[in-house]
Structure formats: structure tokens, C-alpha cells
Amino acid sequence: MTGTDRPVLTFGDLAALPVTVDLMTAARTLGIGRTTAYAMARAEEFPCPLIRVGGSYRVPTAGLLRLLGLEPARGAA
């Protein structure tokens, strides 16, 4: 368990992620807590690209995987 009290994502979980994930899924993957994740997002300091959609943030899975040193599969839809 992490400081977020949720299990860390496994490689299988990462492979099953959709094209974008919410900020908390990305934060959980990186071991970042909720307050820190939102503070980093607001300060434009989150470690991977973010997309602002209204009042929420979406994280492109490809950018998250690259940050983790995992290249997304080519041709994956």
C-alpha cells in the first residue's frame, strides 16, 4: 500500500489503462498523494503532461508510461 491507502498498480494494470486517466490514477501510479498531486498540477509541476478539462485534469497514458520508462505499444488503440 502507498500513502494513498490504495494498492500500487501492477504491470498488468498499466497495460489495461485507457488512453487518458484521471489525476488520482496517475498520482497513485507514481506514489504521490492527492494533495500533492493537485498542488503540482495547479503549479504546472506534475511530472508528466496534463490536459485540463473543465475543472478536472486528465493524464495521457502514453506520457505516464514514458515517465515510468515504459514505451506504449505501437498501434495500440
Which cell numbers hold the place of 11?
504491470
Please give the tally of structural domains in the chain.
1
Closest by alpha carbon to 27, among 53, 44, 10, 2? 2
In DSSP terms, which residues pair with 44 in a beta bridge?
Answer: none
d(CA 54, CA 65): 24
Q: Evaluate whether residue 6 is within a structural domain.
A: no
pTM given for the model:
0.76
Q: Can you give the pLDDT at residue 14?
A: 76
Identify whether 60 is part of a domain: yes
Grid coordinates of 54: 473543465
Closest C-alpha among 47, 42, 44 to residue 63: 47
Model confidence at 6, pLDDT cuts 50, 70, 90, reads low
The string of pLDDT tens digits covering residues 47-72 is 999 999 998 999 999 999 999 888 76
Domain that holds residue 33: 11-67
